[in-house]
Chains A and B, each alone.
Chain A
Amino acid sequence: MAIKNLPREECYLPGSAACPGCPATMALRITFKALGKNTMMIVPACCTAVIESLHPHTSFDIPTMNIAFEAAAAGASGVEAGLRMQGKTDTTVVAWAGDGGTYDIGIQALSGALERGTNFIYICYNNEIYSNTGIQRSGATPYGAWTTTTVGGKTEFRKEMGEIIQAHHIPYAAQTCIAYPEDMYKKLVKAKGIKGPKYIEIMAPCPPGWRFSMEKTVEMGTMAVETGAWALYEVENDKVTFNGKSKLILEKKIERKPIEDWIKHQGRFRHLFKPKKDVKRIKTIEDHIDLIWERYRKRHL
């Protein structure tokens, strides 16, 4: 589906409180287009709770309930059950959380809902930090990245959430990125058509959090995929398929670009380049990405 053919209807309304260049808003817009008006959102504490704008106004034309930080998936289980008991089984129930609400504080409720087979789509927009509270590290923050709580750069690698999700053997899981709206749209539509728990994670480069200028959001997303820092794939009943450039990288039909091409444009990695290039740490990042792709190839080729 080409962008020009996406549904015209907008449920993401003007007047939101997002930063300019916000990736979450791009993801929300496509999500609403893909899922349509017969959708309900459960949103835990995260930037989106701000993006919705101030009570009594809203920038969402879809029923939305905010819930506590760690409770999105459990709240969604309740919403889904409540609707089902009223015979409303055609509504798509979405839990929409950041990486903090997914990788860290919300992982228990998420795992529980996946295990119970809740019929919903859990969407994590991954900006690799706690943005709402002012750029702190999360389990999704990559090695070397500065945040306000990893002042000299993070010393640990990020969690492999994809593997954790796959260990639940749910009917559908996917990774996508705001720079690829068609890929995002296709995956959302597919998830909507499948019964049971679905998980979609959207790479969401955040200008203030990653320290790049606001017109570069899409570019940062593209480069995340082209350098292999992020992979586009989907998992249907345990069968993993890589998509787009990620498929070509997996099959070694193209070389992934050097990680420097991505990180040198982000202020959060500036200490790796200034005052002196930190060759060792840049290599550590590069090697780790190689390791991840070798693991992908071993499992999925």
Chain B
Amino acid sequence: MSVMIDTGNYIAAKAAVMARPAVVPAYPITPQTTLVEGIANYVKTGEFKGEYICVESEHSAMAACIGASATGVRTFTGTSSHGLLLMHEMLHWAALARLPIVMCNINRVVGPGWNIWTDENDSISQRDTGWIQFYCSSNQEIFDTVIQSFKLAEHEKVQLPVMISYNAFILSHTSMPVYVPDQKDVDNFIPKRIPKWKLDVDNPITFGNIILPAAYEKVRKDMQDSQEYAKKLIPEISKEWKKQFGRHHGDLLELYKCEDAGYILLSMGAIGAESKVSIDNLRKEGIKIGLARVRCFRPFPREEVLKLGKQADLIVIDRNISVGMEGAVFTEVKAALYNNSDAKAYGFIAGLGGKDVTFGDIEKMCKKVVNGKAKQLEWFGFEGV
């Protein structure tokens, strides 16, 4: 094991290369660029022995991932915002083709106008593509989640692509110390991929031709079953990781001081990390509050959230909005509670367009709920300029 002090993107590049993908097709976009540049540097140093394809668009990046993955090899890519949106069609394709591609997405605002800061609308709008979605809160978690994701994606009962999102600049361009395991331990953790199907001249199959309704419905049901299975597998992989490397970032949720809490805050990504400071401060003031950081958005931890709803009222901060409704996590949380819990749930929209959300801001939101002043849905700190 060694310690590497670097930005989220370079850490992701390191993790990706240590997972030994055979093919990495990529296209640059701020703030993902240093991730793909990082991998390009490993090509030069010889640490990355796979094929790095400089494609001409993100649509082609994902198409090339699909093509390569269909030959049975491991693939990785990274993107952000408009790049992710351009991939949309191929994201569905990858998931329906059950190809275990792993991708980092750096959460960046969607234009117009052009804005390179962070919010989650890019990845939230890919919610229904069939990809497993993680949101990270530190560079160490980025590293660990990238490695874990290959194991998850390639598991014989999962066979789905995984997207690992982390916030633009707050993580992508901020240096932190990260423990990096030895290559042989990574190799042991993620053994060689055994594909369920592949393009093979010795077994010529036709993949993806015309399919009738009943057979197609089964494809969708199988995907759903696999995501349900992933819910069980993610905690197992986290446990195995902890046993081997001593670190644990939570399962689908990361719970912090929830045991006796009468209020539980749910948030994702960097706000999730910041929230821990707020929880400590609020507890000093005597408020019994805990944090459930949503680490995995798809599959959504429905059962765990319901459990929290049996114990506490829930406060949700979304750095995204499904326009015409509310924050995406808020919707999911309420759906998880429905019919089975009397908990109250409060939603805040905060930090859109990359606006800073500090621990002080988070404390204000929580206190508003605790003091009975919060409406069911609010925009926090909205300036309307």
Chain A contact residues, CB within 8 Å of chain B? 11, 17, 37-40, 42, 49-50, 52-56, 58, 60-68, 70-71, 73-86, 88, 91, 108-109, 111-112, 115-116
Contact = CB atoms under 8 A, between A and B. Distances in A.
B51 interface: yes
A76 B65 CA distance: 10
B53 A70 contact: no
Main secondary structure of the interface of A (DSSP, over half): mixed
Given A65-B67, A67-B67, A85-B51, A79 B199 contact: yes
Please provide the 9 A-B residue pairs with the shortest distance between their CB atoms, ordered closest to farther.
Answer: A78-B67, A82-B71, A112-B56, A66-B208, A74-B60, A78-B64, A58-B206, A82-B68, A74-B63
A33 to B, nearest CB: 15
B222 to A, nearest CB: 14
B68 A79 contact: yes
B81 to A, nearest CB: 20
A84 B71 CA distance: 10
B22 A62 contact: no
A116 B209 contact: no
Contact of B204 (A60, A83, A88): A60
Contact of A74 (B23, B67, B199): B67
Nearest to A17: B210
Given A81-B51, A85-B23, A75 B66 contact: yes
Contacts of A70: 59
Identify which of B22, B69, B201 gathers the most chain A CB atoms within 10 Å of its CB: B201
Contact of B73 (A63, A74, A86, A109): A86
Nearest to B204: A63
B70 to A, nearest CB: 5
B209 A109 contact: no
B67 A54 contact: no
Interface string B204-241: 11111111100100000000000000000000000000
Interface of B: 22-23, 25, 50-51, 53-57, 59-61, 63-73, 75, 89-90, 93, 199-201, 203-212, 215
Contacts of B93: 67-68, 71
A244 B215 CA distance: 48
Given A82-B22, A82-B72, A74 B59 contact: yes
B338 to A, nearest CB: 36
Contact of B68 (A37, A53, A60, A81): A81
Nearest to B206: A58
A68 to B, nearest CB: 5
A83 B199 CA distance: 9
Contacts of A75: 63-64, 66-67
Identify which of A39, A49, A50, A63 gathers the most chain B CB atoms within 10 Å of its CB: A63
A73 B66 CA distance: 12
B209 A82 contact: no
Contacts of B51: 81, 84-85
Given A78-B63, A78-B71, A85-B23, 14 more contacts: A52-B206, A53-B209, A55-B208, A62-B204, A68-B90, A71-B90, A71-B93, A74-B61, A75-B64, A78-B75, A80-B67, A85-B22, A112-B57, A116-B54
